[in-house]
Chain A
Amino acid sequence: MTAQASVRNATTAAPLRPQRGGGPALPKGRGSGVADLVGVIPIGLLYVVFILVPMVVAVFLSFTSWNGVGNPTWVGFANWSWFFHNSPGSAISSTSSIWLTIKVVVLSYVVQTPISIGLGLFTAGRQRYKVVYATIFVLPMLLSTAGISYMWNGFLDPNFGPLVPLASHFSFLNQDWLGSSSITLYVLVAIIAWQFIPFHTLLYAVGRRQIPEVLYEAARIDGATPAQMFWQVTLPQLRYTMVTSGILMITGGLTYFDIIYILTKGGPGAATSTLPLNMYNTAFQQTQFGYSSVMAVVLGVIGIAIAIGLVRGTGFGRMQSQQEGVN
């Protein structure tokens, strides 16, 4: 898309916004309240059946002891006190699971965000072969999670993998990448980043292209350096993209399961057993659905709290324009 086109987009988009300050834009004809309600029913039903009911059931189950067969028995706060007193009957301590989960979330955010911004800005540019690069960057998005896992499993195979011949020359390659209690978590964070950076790169590329070119022209006229333009124009304009991408990364990291399950099953020992892995094992391997529901509720509450916090704290929810004065 050319600069001209994006300017046109920006200007034609503006009049669609309600011009009066603040307040939601209500459609004309306020009398259609019943019709509105009827329109909400389908999605409302789906929301209740697939989101609210399971959440309420999970909260209920967290106060019971249930092996998945027969009827749950009420045990009060026993599961909760297990959870907060390091769960003597559980395979994996809840404290270690929580720390591992926090590590995955924080490291994923810290690793993925700068790389995604960098690649996103690069692919949004106008250099030659951009399409070729963009295609290469997006490739991991096209692969299934199981495919990615098996590919990396083969690549990091300590006996037959392609790194094995190199390891005799470079001793730092001589690692049990997926079976070490010290490095495996970081290897997993790297593989997860490899899988998800393309998606966030796309988000940032789109976000960058929606920044009106006039802002850069104005900055250039004022004598701004590229670095200044990045810090003063690009990043502030990408604010909502960062919030979107951040929410997806953080809530995604909290609940991330697939690659870890396929590659390590939470092992070796419990070295990569994050809260979702621990929850799955407790529910479906140990058939302790009550105790695993505690973890589900904790994960749900943390996820919702972080998402709401991000939406509110960043002004994302109010949708204030970042382009005041552009038009």
Chain B
Amino acid sequence: MRSSSRALAAVALAAAVATGAAACSSSSSSTTSSSSSSSATSAASGSSSAAATANLTIWADTTSGGTGPSDLALKALAQSFNASHPGDNITVDFISDANIKTQLQTAMGAGNEPPVFWTWGGGVLDQYIKAGKVVPLGTTSTATYLSNFLPSTLGAVTFNGQVYGVPVEGTQPVYFFYNKQVFSDNHLTFPTTWSGLLSTISTLKAKGIAPISLAEGGQWPGLMYLEYLTDRIGGPSVAKALQDNAPDAWKNPAITEALTDIQALAKAGAFNKGFDSTQFNGQSDALVTSGKAAMQLMGDWDLGSANQTFVNAGKMGMAAFPSVGSGDPADLAGNTATYLSISTAASPAQQAVAKEFFSSALASSDYAKKQVAANEVPVTTGADSYFTGPLAAYQKQIYASVQNAPSFTYSWDQMLVPSLGTPMLTNLQKIFDQTETPAQFEAAMTTAAASAS
């Protein structure tokens, strides 16, 4: 008897596991038509109405269990806001970077979203806006505190002229980070042109050094090559067309050329051995800092994730992506910033308190200084004078490049609607592996884009 019930349990278990993914997200599929849109408009004009007090929770992203310097800066900001606003109580719930998108998506679907949530802007945020889930904050003229931020950093949260989020973490543009020692040992300077990069690669290769460390095991690091090459070859309008899902946007000649260049790099052995299983989490950094590889294309968070002794000793070089075609080499790609948005599930009082928090705390120079102390590069205007400490030189360079960038293309996997992100990363990895041609990539993405709304 016992073993037959075990068999039954096995059958039931298999069924439960198989339907599990659908189960946890579908618990209340029909309750999502909330009473949200009415409250959204009433509070939209909201300058801070000092009378309203409320408790509210912020869902914030963390890569270090809520104990990283930038996490603590946000927490301290909320605490000082609570101290100066009696009756209000803002708490910050830190959610692991690996889970927060899924958790938020599930909460949004079930109508359990927090009053204030973390976002990267772009296609995911747009999806929530279209579902009536996000409170518009106004424009830089109706909500003047928004002009405290560098204009290029609000693009990712601006839809139909309305701003839907406020920068919470520093900007994260992508650069080449390189081992200065390796370059000087081989009498090289960092190249500023594509042909220069190719000859640098062949020089390094001949010395037995892996020219470029690539953490393609995570699939997203390869995307930065496509983003930069496309921009350098065809300018920012190519990516804009992708975001707007223009017909045949994926068949742009600039993308074809970018994909061809990537395959040429891979064929020339530019990337480290086993790049397809190399992870960013430690491995790809260690390749550069140990001198086994010479450089890595990475977001500026690399300054915080690479060996700190190495970085603080000034051994890490930082350079812009070389110029390739007619695109402006001052253009940037990466995460312009991360943002906080207010959900329409928040009560009018909560919305007012959240806006007060945005304008008096997040947009303040005080928070910008806290961010600098946490090794972030804030996107608040005038923050360039705050940089001191061992990373100041890098931070000033980053801030200036963001300030001067004619265009700052948002990471495509955040910019595009989610249904295109995975096909893009999967097919791009096949490009790096030479198991797919640029034409096949473009055909696959065109089909996927046609079925995406």
Q: Are A292 and B448 in contact (CB under 8 A)?
A: no
Interface residues of B in 13-38 (CB under 8 A from A): 13-23, 25-26, 29-30, 32-33
Assess the A71–B25 pair: CB atoms within 8 A.
no
Name the interface residues of B412-453: CB closer than 8 Å to any CB of A: 418-423, 425-427, 429-430, 433, 435-436, 447-448, 450-452
Interface string of B130-173 (1 = CB under 8 A from A): 11110000000000000000000000000000000000000000
Cβ-based interface call for B240 (8 A): no
Q: Which residues of B contact A296 (CB under 8 A)?
A: 18-22
Are A179 and B216 in touch, CB under 8 angstroms? yes
A286 CA to B418 CA in the complex, in Å?
Answer: 5
Please give, as numbers and ranges, the residues of chain A lying within 8 Å of B430 by CB-CB distance: 268-270
With A254-B18, A307-B7 in contact, is A69–B448 under 8 Å at CB? no
Contacts of A265 in B (CB 8 A): 217-219
Among A53-61, A116-124, A130-138, A213-221, the stretch in contact with B? A53-61
Question: Does B277 lie within 8 Å of A179, measured CB to CB?
Answer: yes
A91 is contacted by which of B218, B278, B423 (Cβ under 8 Å)? B423
Does residue A234 face the partner (Cβ distance < 8 Å to B)? Answer: no
Residue A171, interface by CB 8 Å: no
Contact A307 B25 (CB under 8 A): no
A91: chain B residues at CB < 8 Å are 422-423, 425-427, 448
Bound Cα distance A288, B127 (Å): 12
Contacting pair B19 A285 (CB below 8 A): no
Interface flags, A144-178, vs B, CB<8A=1, else 0:
00000000010011111000000000000000111
Given A58-B19, A286-B421; A69-B131 close (CB under 8 Å): yes
Assuming the A-B contacts A55-B15, A283-B21, A299-B18, are A179 and B274 also in contact, with contact meaning beta carbons closer than 8 angstroms in the complex?
A: yes
B108 is an interface residue with CB less than 8 A from chain A: yes
CB distance from B36 to the nearest CB of A (A): 11
Query: Which listed segment binds B: A33-41, A107-115, A193-201, A244-252?
Result: A244-252
Question: A-B contact count, CB below 8 Å?
Answer: 225
A70 contacts the other chain (CB 8 A): yes
Please tell me if A90 contacts chain B, counting CB pairs below 8 Å.
yes
* Nearest chain B CB to A321 CB, angstrom units: 12
State whether the Cβ of B105 lies closer than 8 Å to any Cβ in chain A.
yes
Complex interface: chain A residues within 8 A of B278 (CB): 158-159, 179
Q: Is the CB of A300 within 8 A of B14?
A: yes
Shortest beta-carbon distance from A326 to chain B in Å: 18
Cross-chain contact B26 with A289 (CB below 8 angstroms): yes
Q: How far is the CB of A238 from chain B (nearest CB, A)?
A: 12
Query: For B189, what are the chain A residues with a Cβ–Cβ distance below 8 Å?
Result: none
Q: How far, in angstroms, from A219 to B16 measured CA to CA in the complex?
A: 44
With both chains docked as a complex, state the minimum distance between the C-beta of B422 and any C-beta of chain A, in angstroms.
4
Point out the residues of chain B lying under 8 angstroms from A255, CB to CB: 14, 17-18
Measured CB to CB, the closest approach of chain A to B106, in angstroms, equals 7
- Does A281 lie within 8 Å of B422, measured CB to CB? yes
Q: Which of B208-250 contact A (CB under 8 A)?
A: 216-219
Which chain B residues lie closer than 8 Å to A304 at the CB level? 11, 14-15
**In the assembled complex, A189 has its CB within 8 A of some CB on chain B:** no
B60 at the interface (CB under 8 A from A): no
**Chain B residue with the shortest CB-CB distance to A317:** B4
Say yes or no for A66: interface residue by CB 8 A criterion: yes
Q: A67: CB under 8 A from chain B?
A: yes
**Which residues of A lie under 8 Å from residue B425 when comparing CB positions?**
91
Known: A284-B105, A285-B422. A176 touches B4 (CB 8 A): no
Cβ B14 vs Cβ A176 within 8 A: no
B286 beta carbon closer than 8 Å to chain A: yes
A268 touches B433 (CB 8 A): yes
Which chain B residues border A289 with CB–CB below 8 Å? Answer: 22, 25-26
- Do B426 and A286 have beta carbons less than 8 Å apart? no
- A286 and B422 in contact, given A54-B19, A159-B278, A303-B14 (Cβ under 8 angstroms): yes
Residues of B within 8 A of A266 (CB): 426
Asked if A68 is at the interface (CB within 8 A of a chain B CB), the reply is yes
- Indicate if the CB atoms of B419 and A267 lie closer than 8 Å: no
Interchain nearest-CB distance for B388 vs A (Å): 35
A-B contact pairs, 29 of them (CB 8 A): A50-B23, A51-B19, A54-B19, A54-B22, A54-B26, A55-B15, A57-B29, A58-B19, A68-B108, A69-B32, A69-B131, A70-B33, A89-B447, A91-B427, A91-B448, A159-B274, A176-B274, A179-B217, A180-B276, A184-B277, A240-B3, A254-B18, A255-B18, A265-B217, A284-B21, A284-B102, A284-B105, A287-B127, A300-B19
Binding site for B on A (CB under 8 A): 47, 50-51, 53-55, 57-58, 61, 66-72, 88-92, 153, 156-160, 176-181, 184, 240, 243-244, 247-248, 251-252, 254-255, 264-270, 273, 279-289, 292-293, 296-297, 299-300, 303-304, 307-308, 311, 316-317, 319
